[in-house]
Structure 1
Amino acid sequence: MRLVLVLGDQLSDNLSALRKCDKDNDIVVMAEVADEASYVPHHPKKIAFLFAAMRKFAAKLECEGWQVAYTKLDDRQNTGSITGELIRRASEHDAAGVVYTEPGEWRLIEALGDLPLKTHQLSDDRFIASHKDFEDWAEGRKALRMEYFYRDMRRKTGLLMDGDKPEGDKWNYDHENRKPAPDQVDYGGPMQFTPDDTVEEVLTLVENRFGDNFGTLRPFWFATDTGQARQHLARWLTDGLPKFGDFQDAMLNDNRFLYHAIIGLYINAGLLDPLEVCQKAEQAYKDGDAPLNAVEGFIRQIIGWREYVRGIYFREGPDYTSRNGLDHTRKLPAMYWGADTKMNCIAKSVGQTRDEAYAHHIQRLMVTGNFALLAGIDPGEVHEWYLAVYADAYEWVEAPNVIGMSQFADGGIIASKPYISSGNYIHKMSDYCGSCAYKVKDKTGENACPFNLLYWHFLDRHRDRFEANPRMGNMYRVFDRMNEDRQKTVLQEAEDFLSRMDAGRTV
């Protein structure tokens, strides 16, 4: 008899560890443990989502004939760690060893590798590209750009392919997916589910144990099983997907979701199969229910970007999260944890994160991420914040997005240049600036948008690194055409802003 470990982000019927084992003889081990719930201060909604989904998945396995050894967080015998629970269960059942699917974080891979038990790790074949597939693709390339990897994934899956050519004769329709915020959104947002008894029990547990964590627990509306997640997906495919592409980069004060799918948390926990999701989106295009730009943009995020960042994470190794290619050391400001700020875009993005454990990719990349990069915040602190506050965040997907894409801390493995902008980008893509205490059109002075000041400050302090970058040289030429007094004013006002922020003053 063996133990079969199922982790909280492996809630999939087709998990390799379940396929490998025998329900008549082997025992599934699942555990809510303090180590996993607190290695960063996770958002209460994320903890509740995973615990509730785990309990329902365990009950489903039992109905299918599996014996499940399930440990709740408040069980008296709970050892507090995954490895501790495996050792305890192995002793209880005189198990011959442990079979498990590869975890998505180096931290757990290393811990399970050190178990004083016989172990058998299986690959996580819920992904389209294996580690070897990604290594083979990356071998010999000077630059590991996602676009070319994505094209190979399209060929491999056949999604949106017309023979050997991409549907519509173009691989990428991103240029059609950058419309500014619409005046009105005719989609009601994600499907919301009323907590059942299982979820309510978990919510009470999380309130008692993690009530001081950053984040609002109630109202709680997430799907917590595959059936609910599929209902949510079906509704979005019909009502949200058609306009998703056009407005996927837009941001609004009074609409947190626009046309976004909000399925990252369900895919990453295993409740939805990524390839099945993409096939359903492709079918919507084939049926004439959604335009190509929307479907292509959505599929690219899953079989392109999602698969790509996983490849980067495992290729780069356990030290990836500690990289700091720009030597940024500033502490994460309190406004990321909900402290007052006069910057409306930050306040809206952080407030939404607090309430929903969700923000879409542009809010993460071009608002909170952009500010952190411009201000020179320690990427390790930025990484831990993103890992803590979002319900879809697991290190394999979060770290490359933050360390690589957002903070350029990996030295340019993912991005060919830093993703920085002045306030004009946020003004173009949102209605945030109209109700901000700062003035996005002001380049200097007490009302100047901090993004405007910090943009030039970043370029100035990193001139040696980026002046020769062909995608950034023009901005240095713009700065150099400013008269000397204006340059000094911009840089001094940026320094003054950062000093006020560092001192804990409201900025």
Structure 2
Amino acid sequence: MSLGIWVLGDQLSQAQAALASTQPDAARVLLVESSSVLGQRAYHRQKLVLVWSAMRHFAEELRQAGWTVDYRIGEQFGTTVRDWITCHGIEQVWLMEPADRGFRDAIERLTLPVKLNWLPSNAFLWSREAFAAWADGYRQLRMELFYREGRRRFAVLMEGEGAKAQPLGGQWNYDHDNRRAPTKGLRGPEPLWFEPDAITQAVMERVEQLDQERQKAGLPPLPGRLVPFRWGVSRAQALAVLEHFIDTRLAGFGPYQDAMVNGEPTLWHALLSPYLNLGLLHPLEVIRVLEQAGRDRAVPLACLEGVIRQILGWREYTHGLYHWFGPAYGESNQLEAQAPLPAWLEHGGGSGMACMDTVLQEIEQTGYAHHIQRLMVLANYGLLAGLNPQALTDWFHRQFIDGYDWVMQTNVLGMGVYADGGRLASKPYAASGNYIRRMSTYCQDCRFDVKQRHGPKACPFNSLYWDFLARHRDRLRSNPRMALVFKQLEKLTPDELAAIRQTAAEHRSPM
């Protein structure tokens, strides 16, 4: 077999473009598990286990399907791939385009002795060319417009055909039904977890060994807990999570998708993003299953539309923007934020803020937090405190089980900290402690007072919020969506604003 197919770690589907372009008896397949990734980022232990175990399980799945598969474990990609090419007489290598731009650049720099043939990715609904054709027609690339076009293009939750098709239920968006604050005693259904099998246990042992070697070399330990590890690592398990979501969580997903509750890190969230981002599930496959479940089980339309919007809308939108904006986007810092990350971000808590420490402890345990925890606690803090956006984006990438460059650049730089100056979001998603008080149960046991703006007991989100507005008054006051908050800022007396800004400065000083 002179043809080699190199399958990357986030392309774990037998339908991926390179595998789908040939037959099992016509090519040799390579998967590479390289510890060199830790030289770039110190990833969460559970993320390493998830990716490497999923790769090993996928290799077995391919073998059972008749493919000749070589699974190589090494320190460096280049050495490992070159040895494989030489050993098996590979004359050309086919790869599917990776979702992350930097990964392709790194592969191109390997100077392999054979030609690389890149096949367009089929891991997303929108190709990069199709997204570019859509984006080229707009001055402002707003997600709602993109989402509606996706609904039409892929005939999702639509009634009628062609140009006359209308959204099911008569409206496109049910956001107003899906933003309820948590009620007392709110509890979600139990998520579906899995016990590690022998393959996963072997990966866990390797991660532990690599971590010990790092620490012996004087490097800090990898973030996150290694055990218990309970994520799915195969397509069969990913499909089981999808079915479990439909059976136990879909009908309740909508109303409380923005709620944050102590002791309830998952509530009704789907927990599908890690499997979608690895390729174990395809987005259109998931959407069609959800649509069918909606018809068969009479799922409330607000719940069904809410979860489909996350996949068909936001996920496709952020991936498309990542490639449309190009490499320079990763260096965006329109607000000139330069503060270093506080030590407690790396240590999994210790900020004294109940909201922040709760979310960090949950990430420490599983590498997961849902979208509102990410946006309105973690990224909101980064925005208000003026944390360096590149450092914060890197932290998100390392810590989250579903984190990749294409995910985190647009989500953190654009939506989270407004570092792109509004190319993605129409305004900064800045909020005081009052938002967290309304949408969570965190404030009840916090040592800070969410009703105070300044002084030693004041909620840091409050002092930082008003300080943020004062710092960026000249930059942001012309934004029509910010007019109301700047009117509120003007109502503060000079003495009160000075006290607020002093409290904010004292909070930031130990960072």
TM-score of the superposed pair, with normalisation by structure 2: 0.95
| 1:131-165 deviations in Å (ceiling 9; x for gaps) | 11111111131110011011111111111001110
1:262 aligns with 2:271: yes
Comparing 179-188 with 196-205, greater Cα deviation is found at 179-188
| 1:187-207 deviations in Å (ceiling 9; x for gaps) | 433211111111111111111
In structure 1, how many angstroms separate the alpha carbons of the residues matched to 2:211 and 2:376? Answer: 30
Matches within 5 A, 1:257-336: 257-336=266-345
Aligned residues: 495
In structure 2, how many angstroms separate the alpha carbons of the residues matched to 1:182 and 1:389? Answer: 30
Question: Is this contact kept in 2: 1:251–1:429, CA < 8 A?
Answer: yes
Identify which of 446, 450, 457 aligns with 1:447.
457
Segments of structure 1 that go 5 or more residues without pairing to the other structure are: 73-77, 503-507
C-alpha displacement of 1:86? 2.2
SS of corresponding position for 2:409: helix
Question: Is this contact kept in 2: 1:187–1:239, CA < 8 A?
Answer: no
SS of corresponding position for 1:180: coil
Question: Is this contact kept in 1: 2:5–2:94, CA < 8 A?
Answer: yes
Question: Is this contact kept in 1: 2:36–2:75, CA < 8 A?
Answer: no
1:485 match: 495
Q: 1:126 to 1:276 in 2, by over 3 A?
A: same
In structure 1, how many angstroms separate the alpha carbons of the residues matched to 2:121 and 2:427? Answer: 32
1:203 aligned partner, one-letter code: M
Identify which of 456, 463, 479 aligns with 2:473.
463
Q: 1:339 to 1:183 in 2, by over 3 A?
A: closer
| 1:230-266 deviations in Å (ceiling 9; x for gaps) | 1111111111111111000000111111111111001
| Root mean square deviation, CA, Å | 1.3
Q: 1:208 to 1:8 in 2, by over 3 A?
A: same
In structure 1, how many angstroms separate the alpha carbons of the residues matched to 2:325 and 2:458? Answer: 40
Q: Percent identity?
A: 39
C-alpha displacement of 1:443? 1.9
1:336 aligned partner, one-letter code: L
In structure 2, how many angstroms separate the alpha carbons of the residues matched to 1:100 and 1:257? Answer: 35
In structure 1, how many angstroms separate the alpha carbons of the residues matched to 2:324 and 2:445? Answer: 44
In structure 1, how many angstroms separate the alpha carbons of the residues matched to 2:26 and 2:289? Answer: 36
1:67 aligned partner, one-letter code: T
Question: Is this contact kept in 2: 1:182–1:247, CA < 8 A?
Answer: no
1:240 aligns with 2:236: no
Comparing 361-370 with 468-477, greater Cα deviation is found at 468-477
Question: Is this contact kept in 1: 2:188–2:266, CA < 8 A?
Answer: no
1:128 match: 125
| 1:401-460 deviations in Å (ceiling 9; x for gaps) | 011110111121110111110000000000000110001011222211111101111111
Matches within 5 A, 1:4-403: 4-72=5-73, 78-81=74-77, 83-114=78-109, 115-116=111-112, 117-163=114-160, 164-185=165-186, 187-210=188-211, 212-337=221-346, 338-403=348-413
| 1:57-105 deviations in Å (ceiling 9; x for gaps) | 1011111111111112xxxxx2512x33222211111211110000111
Question: Is this contact kept in 2: 1:238–1:289, CA < 8 A?
Answer: no
SS of corresponding position for 2:255: coil
| 1:320-370 deviations in Å (ceiling 9; x for gaps) | 222111110000001112241210000001110110100000000000110
1:451 aligned partner, one-letter code: F
Structure 1 residue ranges (4+ consecutive) displaced by more than 6 angstroms after TM superposition: none
1:431 aligns with 2:441: yes
Segments of structure 2 that go 5 or more residues without pairing to the other structure are: 213-220
1:262 aligned partner, one-letter code: L
In structure 2, how many angstroms separate the alpha carbons of the residues matched to 1:104 and 1:30? Answer: 17
1:464 aligned partner, one-letter code: D
In structure 1, how many angstroms separate the alpha carbons of the residues matched to 2:39 and 2:18? Answer: 26
